[in-house]
Amino acid sequence: MKEDRRRAVFLDRDGVLNAPVLVDGKPHPPTSTSRLELLPGVSAACRRLKEHGFLLIVITNQPDIARGHATYATVASINQYLGELLPLDAVYMCVHDDFNNCECRKPKPGLIIDAAGAWDIDLVASVMVGDRWRDIEAGRSAGCMTVYIDRGYSERAPAGFDARVPDLHGAATWILQRRPRLNEREAAP
């Protein structure tokens, strides 16, 4: 890794930072800022990661916009409000659904790659944290290490993650304990 390149923790939004709305065991986003509830320990975990020099970038699928269940303005206001509550550096959002076959919708890594280019991020020295298989697959495809927050959803579980934890506090602890290993990955040819 070049010394001037940055490290990031890419964070899914719903289920990682804020409480999802569960319907039949599957997570859905909150419908307004008044319904946004930070998960316990998220603020402290984000501060710890920032103190150790990581950029915090949200990578979120928001297909309810394409499905007509939410407006872009509503989702953008939720993202902005989340940025007021947490020390986030950026939010990258896909507003498409699977049928659009876009490059930005997770599990494709388009948003992560776009963020890496814009922020001069070394993907090998970075981590994707998510609570769904799409998050983990996107992170792996981008070349990041991956941390799966297991919320016990009634859906397909991810495979091939580097760590499984119960919450963002656990993810931050794992990331910070492995920081020397991230440096070793950088030095590999």
CA distance readout (Å), 106 to 16, 42, 61, 139: 15, 22, 7, 9
12: annotated active-site residue: yes
CA distance readout (Å), 22 to 93, 113, 154, 180: 21, 30, 10, 37
Q: Which of 4, 12, 89, 122 is catalytic?
A: 12
Q: Which of 4, 14, 97, 150 is catalytic?
A: 14
Residue 97 neighbours by CB under 8 Å, 6+ apart: 63, 66, 67, 105
Q: Confirm if 171 and 147 have CB atoms less than 8 A apart.
A: yes
- Triad 26, 104, 7: Cα angle to 5°: 95
The H or E element that residue 60 is part of is strand 55-61
Q: Confirm if 116 and 1 have CB atoms less than 8 A apart.
A: no
Q: How far, in whole angstroms, is CA 165 from its chain's centroid?
A: 14
167: annotated active-site residue: no
Q: How far, in whole angstroms, is CA 163 from its chain's centroid?
A: 14
The residues annotated as belonging to the active site are 12, 14
